[in-house]
Every structure is written in structure tokens, then in C-alpha cells.
């Protein structure tokens, strides 16, 4: 092997041995940080939506399509509605879910286990009724308030939707007992079929206008939508309700549907998540919500939603950043997985670097010590030979043999070129000790020669 290559390999080996412990410590800390911060989000999450063809179901499909671009599979779990979604979150059967304000029983215990990603949109309470039913029961085709529904066949949706609870509350403030109506709790699709067939007089939905059922009923002849003339009063009585107005002609301008402004009461729907859901997933859903719900709609202006208001549980910090500031700086230029990892571990990495930098200063002295020790450790043996020579405990011949053996070993020592001066200094010192040992023998020989 060429000497130059041999010296280079020697330097590299000693450098690796010197820096190895510190490199291992740094890598171990980075691995521990990665495990603790868990920057990589799961590839699959469960989103609790609602009944088939509902607004929740449609929005769920849009979220799944949006997150698929990031390699995240969103499994849509259909349910009866808000109350059922809240139970799925509590039981850990869903990671996220749509929950309408006022329709689910949210308690103090939920504040520790559930977080909100903001209010997404308003969901009016749609009360559709048949004109012929109103004519038959009240001798007029128009119903103006809830108290006129006494004796009607009304479907209020499944218990899991939360609508029965909300509607019963509204009946109570109108001094109308639920027992005074013929209430049913069918799902949206069979209830709509029964309603159109005349088996029901009215149906109640709490849904966004994107719901296919709502869109269809708004344009069905003989079906009317209750105008909540007291919508402002309802909102003052119940904090989770908001008065909204559906403008004339907003459904169909050409057909002028509706023919006049319709006043409604609405609650805001939030996207709730289990507190254990990965922060990166919360961030992605919050960012996606600004795209899906940030435009103008029948009941909101552009960029009015998503909103951090009207939340019944604490707002996630990821949602606050996403809604207020938009995508983080790094995500605008880097792939999501890389930007997310850097954002989550940069502080810990900084602390590790701050710790590693002072330790790294030990590496050069340690490297020099390891190289020089290959030379210096022979000085101990050389000193022993000198001490034995001074004490006379060993014969000069034995000491010279030990010195020759040591010198043959020293000649095989290889050090980097920058440290050869110390190696040559050792060999000179060995030569010096040899001369001292041989001096008495020369003197004896000189005396013997002079006497002869």
C-alpha cells in the first residue's frame, strides 16, 4: 500500500474514533427527538360525516379528495349526524367529525379530549311543509310559526343527528309539547320519500344548502319552506343560533326561487377532532377548510369562514395558525412531509446543535492525543530502562537488548505526516539512551587498550 494512502487512512481512522462517540450521541438525540415529536403523520384517518347525500357526506368527499394529494387516505364514516359524530370522537372510532352547534350535548369533559378546527359554515334549520297539509289543517296554505304545527305529522330526523334535540327545544319555547305532534325519526332519504308521497306533513333538516335533499325540496312544487319571522328572537334566546336570510331568487334566478326573502335560524357547524390526532393532520384539515369553505355562499360572504368564533370546545393551535396565517412559509416551497418535519423538529434540532457544538471542540484535542499517544507511550518504557541503568539492577547487555527490541517496534509505528517530528524525536531519544548505556563499555575498552 502506498505510504501516502496509508497515512491518509490512518488519519481518517483516528478521526472517526475520536469523533465517533459525539456523532453517536448526536444521532441518538436526533432519533429520540424524532420519536418523541413524531413528525410523520399517519397515512390514514377516519372522518365522521353524516347520512348519505347529506351536506356532511358531500364535504367529506371533498376533504378526502384534497388530502389524497398529500398521500393521506381519509376514510369516510357515515353516521346519523352531529350527536353520533360526537360519540364516535369520544369512543375513539373517528379522528375527526362534523358537529353542529346546539345539536350535540358537549360537556366539560370534552374540553380535554376534543378540539375544534373552527366553524366551517352555517346550517339553517329547514322546515319544509306541504301546502295541501297546511290547507287541510289550517285552512290556509302558509304556516308562519311553529305553534301552528299542532297535530301535524313531522319527521325530525334520527336521534344521532341532533335535530330532534334542537327541534324539541324550539317547540318548548313555543309552548308546544312534543306529544302534541306526531313526530317520527326517519332518516333523511326515507323521510323525504314519505314526505313527497303525502305520508308526512313536514320534515325538519339541519343542513348546509349544499345538501342534495335541500336543493331538491326547494325546487319541488307544492312544498314550502317555513319563514322564521322570529329568527332574531330565537338567536337572542339561544347563543348557538344565528339569524340568516335566504335572498330572493338565490336558488334559481330565472324561476325566482324563492319568490321572496326567507328568514331562517341557523347554527354553525364545526370540524371537531380528537385531541390525540396528529398535529400535522389537524393542520392539513384546517388548511383545506380555508379552501373549501372560504368562498361566498348563500349565507356568508367570501372569507367569512372558516371562523374561530362560535366554538363550544377549545380551538386547536394548528387551526389558529392555519386560519389566521395560511400555509406555513416552508410549505410554500417544500413538499408537505419535508416542511412538516422541519417545522416540528427544528427547535429540538437547534438545541441539539447548541449542545453538540461545545462538545465538538473536544474532537481535535482528542484526535491529537490519540495520535501522539502512539509515540508517547514508549517514553514510559524508555524511562524504565534509564532508571534500571542508574540503579544497576540489570546488566547493560539486558538493557541494550530491551532497547533494541523497543526500537524495532518504534520503527513500525505509523503516524500522519504532521506528527512525524514527534516520532523522530522518540527515535533520537532512544539513540541517546543507547549512547549513555554504551559509554561505560567504551571507557572500559579504552582503559584496557591503554594498559596494553
> What pLDDT is stored for residue 435 in this prediction?
84
> What pLDDT is stored for residue 36 in this prediction?
59
> Is the model's pLDDT at 353 over the cut of 70?
no
Q: How confident is the model at residue 354 (pLDDT cuts 50, 70, 90)?
A: low
Higher pLDDT, 138 or 282: 282
Q: Which of 171-185, 386-400, 424-438 is least confident?
A: 386-400
3-state secondary structure of 302: coil
> Is the model's pLDDT at 26 over the cut of 70?
no
Q: Which of 106-110, 280-284, 324-328, 420-424 is least confident?
A: 106-110
Which of 27-36, 95-104, 118-127 is the most confident on average?
Answer: 118-127
Q: How confident is the model at residue 324 (pLDDT cuts 50, 70, 90)?
A: confident
Q: Which of 35-44, 148-157, 258-267, 347-356 is least confident?
A: 347-356
> Is the model's pLDDT at 445 over the cut of 80?
no
Higher pLDDT, 252 or 11: 252
Question: Which residues partner with 129 through β-bridges?
Answer: 202, 224
> What pLDDT is stored for residue 265 in this prediction?
92
Q: Across residues 246-251, what is the average pLDDT?
A: 91
Q: Across residues 435-443, what is the average pLDDT?
A: 71
What is this structure's pTM? 0.63
CB-based contacts of 363: which residues, under 8 Å, 6+ apart?
15, 18, 19, 22
CB-based contacts of 120: which residues, under 8 Å, 6+ apart?
59, 98, 268, 269, 270, 271, 289, 292, 293, 305, 306
Give burial (CB, 10 Å; 0-12/13-18/19+) of 19.
Answer: middle
Higher pLDDT, 399 or 167: 167
d(CA 307, CA 117): 9
DSSP string, 103-165: TS---TTHHHHEEEEEEEEEEEEEEEEEHHHHHHHHSSS---SGGGGTT-EEE---GGGSHHH
Mean of the per-residue pLDDT values for the chain?
Answer: 81
> Is the model's pLDDT at 383 over the cut of 80?
yes
Cell of 230: 322570529
- Domain 44-326: state its class: alpha beta
- In this predicted model, what pLDDT tens digit does every residue of 148-172 receive, in sequence order? 999 999 999 888 777 888 899 899 9
> What pLDDT is stored for residue 173 in this prediction?
92
- Least Cα distance to 49 among 59, 39, 41 occurs for 59
Which of 30-34, 324-328, 333-337 is the most confident on average?
Answer: 324-328
> Is the model's pLDDT at 202 over the cut of 90?
yes
The bridge status of strand 96-100 relative to strand 262-274 is antiparallel
What is the domain partition of the chain in residue ranges?
A: 44-326, 363-451
DSSP 8-state assignment for residue 70: T
Distance set, CA 129 to CA 152, 177, 204, 249 (Å): 10, 19, 9, 20
- Least Cα distance to 386 among 400, 405, 407 occurs for 400
Amino acid at each position: 500500500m502506498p505510504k501516502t494512502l496509508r497515512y491518509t487512512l490512518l488519519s481518517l481512522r483516528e478521526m472517526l474514533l475520536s469523533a465517533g462517540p459525539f456523532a453517536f450521541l448526536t444521532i441518538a438525540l436526533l432519533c429520540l427527538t424524532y420519536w418523541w415529536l413524531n413528525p410523520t403523520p399517519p397515512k390514514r384517518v377516519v372522518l365522521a360525516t353524516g347520512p348519505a347525500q347529506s351536506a356532511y357526506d358531500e364535504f367529506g368527499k371533498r376533504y378526502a379528495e384534497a388530502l389524497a394529494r398529500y398521500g393521506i387516505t381519509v376514510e369516510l364514516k357515515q353516521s346519523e349526524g352531529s350527536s353520533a359524530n360526537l360519540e364516535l370522537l369520544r369512543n375513539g372510532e373517528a379522528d375527526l367529525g362534523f358537529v353542529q352547534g346546539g345539536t350535540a350535548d358537549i360537556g366539560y369533559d370534552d374540553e380535554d379530549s376534543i378540539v375544534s378546527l373552527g366553524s366551517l359554515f352555517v346550517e339553517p334549520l329547514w322546515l319544509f311543509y306541504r301546502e295541501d297539509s297546511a290547507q287541510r289543517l289550517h285552512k290556509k296554505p302558509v304556516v308562519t310559526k311553529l305553534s301552528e304545527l299542532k297535530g301535524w305529522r313531522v319527521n325530525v330526523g334520527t336521534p344521532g343527528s341532533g335535530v330532534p334535540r334542537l327541534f324539541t327545544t324550539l317547540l318548548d319555547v313555543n309552548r308546544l309539547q312534543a306529544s302534541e305532534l306526531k313526530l317520527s325519526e326517519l332518516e333523511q332519504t326515507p323521510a323525504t320519500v314519505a314526505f313527497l308521497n303525502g305520508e308526512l306533513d313536514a320534515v325538519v333538516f339541519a343542513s348546509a344548502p349544499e345538501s342534495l335533499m335541500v336543493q331538491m325540496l326547494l325546487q319541488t312544487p307544492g312544498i314550502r319552506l317555513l319563514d322564521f319571522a322570529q329568527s332574531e328572537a330565537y338567536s337572542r334566546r339561544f347563543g348557538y343560533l344565528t339569524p340568516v336570510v335566504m335572498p330572493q331568487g338565490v336558488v334559481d334566478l330565472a324561476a325566482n326561487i324563492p319568490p321572496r326573502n326567507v328568514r331562517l335560524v341557523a347554527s354553525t357547524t364545526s370540524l371537531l377532532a380528537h385531541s390525540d390526532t396528529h398535529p400535522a393532520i389537524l393542520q392539513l384539515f384546517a388548511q383545506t377548510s380555508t379552501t373549501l369553505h372560504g368562498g361566498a355562499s348563500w349565507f356568508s360572504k367570501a372569507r367569512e369562514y372558516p371562523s374561530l368564533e362560535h366554538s363550544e370546545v377549545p380551538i386547536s393551535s394548528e387551526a389558529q395558525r392555519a386560519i389566521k396565517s395560511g400555509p406555513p412559509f416552508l410549505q410554500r416551497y417544500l413538499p408537505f412531509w419535508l416542511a412538516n418535519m422541519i417545522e416540528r423538529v427544528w427547535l429540538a434540532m437547534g438545541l441539539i446543535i447548541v449542545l453538540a457544538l461545545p462538545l465538538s471542540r473536544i474532537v481535535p484535542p482528542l484526535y491529537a492525543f490519540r495520535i501522539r499517544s502512539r509515540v508517547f507511550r514508549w517514553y514510559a518504557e524508555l524511562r524504565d530502562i534509564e532508571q534500571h541503568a542508574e540503579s544497576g539492577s540489570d546488566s547493560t547487555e539486558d538493557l541494550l537488548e530491551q532497547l533494541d527490541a523497543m526500537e524495532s517496534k518504534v520503527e513500525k509505528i505509523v503516524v500522519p505526516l504532521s506528527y512525524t517530528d514527534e516520532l523522530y524525536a522518540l527515535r533520537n531519544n532512544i539513540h541517546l539512551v543507547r549512547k549513555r548505556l554504551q559509554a561505560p563499555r567504551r571507557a572500559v575498552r579504552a582503559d584496557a587498550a591503554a594498559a596494553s
